[in-house]
A = this chain, B = another copy of it.
Amino acid sequence: MIIDCHGHYTTSPAAHQAWREAQLTAFASGQSAPAYPLITDDEIRASIVGGQLRLQRERGTDLTIFSPRASAMAHHLGDAAVSEAWAIHCNNLIHRVCQLFPRNFLAVAQLPQTAGVPISHAIAELERCVTQLGFIGCNLNPDPSGGHWQDKPLSDRSWYPFYEKMVELDVPAMIHVSAACNPAFHSTGSHYLNGDTVAFNQFMTSSVFKDFPTIKFIIPHGGGAVPYHWGRFRGLAQDAGLGLLKDTMLNNIFFDTCVYHLPGQELLAKVIPVDNILFASEMIGAVRGIDPETGFPYDDTKRYIEQLPLSAGDKAKIYEGNARRVYGRLNQQLKKQQQ
């Protein structure tokens, strides 16, 4: 089985995004948001069959761990109530996708985050998604301000109530920023990759993994700059007396394979132990074109993995085994959805 641990619902029905715009317009003028529109099963089917499902079939993957569109989380817009309502509707829509296509998708939650609002505010929605809707993880935004980096680092105790809930529910978080509203950054370029690097560095200099020895985080986009600079980070940790990264970080941190060329994938597999790599493509996502150097889509990451000098057993870990281990509720939920 090939599990893609990083897919966003980037093709959601137009009415969903239209409601979001209406919600923000209402907020700006001090009004209540309009009622969320009726979206039919057929509309959802149409948005999936020709998109994610077609690509799963064409590329030979089986299951996508699926979450709301990351760039549209936009935690910097509105206020805490706006983010909460938006997260609930986004998550409900993901749940419906998983009900309609139970063999192809498992759900991961968007969180109701807002800059300056304690992350404990997001616990209720995580709990609802996991215990009532069968979600197996969440996307945690380390910078709800959208590129102003105003919140406390992930090492701060203010995040701990959320980490406690993650451990209790046995769900991992993918660390994933949203769109940047700071003109210094390109949302799906520098901001996404930098968010990944920042998160790793914040955990590296923290005691989070001492305090939560079983907690698990996925750093997407191949870990940002981290594997390319693995020597630098090993050296920084060593100089600071923090020990070896393989001991201090790799029981809790996992990297996905959203790296859109073969040399990057080769580096990732050479530097990071195979037990810490999870297959992912982020399709349909940030890069949708055909690479003129290969003739295939940049984000068809399975083609790169196939070319890596790894054993079949190691590839099976990347494709399936590690995801089943990192997402503690995956096996049970998949069984339930496959009945």
Q: Give the interface of A toward B (CB within 8 A).
A: 142-143, 147-149, 151-153, 182-186, 188-190, 193-194, 197-198, 200-202, 204-205, 221-222, 224-225, 227-236, 238-239, 244, 259-261, 263-264, 266-267, 270-271, 286-289, 291-292, 298-299
Contacts and interface: CB of A to CB of B under 8 A. Distances in A.
Contact of A202 (B184, B263, B264): B184
A291 B234 contact: yes
28 contacts: A142-B184, A148-B148, A148-B149, A149-B184, A153-B184, A186-B201, A188-B236, A190-B198, A190-B201, A190-B202, A193-B197, A193-B229, A194-B197, A197-B225, A221-B232, A227-B228, A230-B263, A231-B259, A231-B261, A234-B298, A235-B286, A235-B287, A235-B289, A239-B289, A244-B292, A263-B270, A264-B267, A264-B271
A4 B233 CA distance: 22
Nearest to A154: B184
A28 to B, nearest CB: 24
A204 B264 CA distance: 20
Contacts of A288: 235, 239
Given A194-B197, A238-B289, A232 B267 contact: no
B234 A261 contact: yes
Contacts of A201: 185-186, 189-190
A182 to B, nearest CB: 6
A222 B186 CA distance: 20
Contacts of A221: 229, 232
B205 A232 contact: no
A204 B234 CA distance: 30
A292 to B, nearest CB: 8
Contacts of A299: 235
Contacts of A244: 292
A52 to B, nearest CB: 19
Which residue among A152, A221, A228 has the maximum number of chain B CB atoms within 10 Å of its CB?
Answer: A228
Given A143-B184, A236-B286, A264 B228 contact: yes
Contacts of A151: 184
A267 B270 CA distance: 11
Contacts of A183: 152-153
Given A183-B153, A184-B153, A234-B291, A259 B189 contact: no
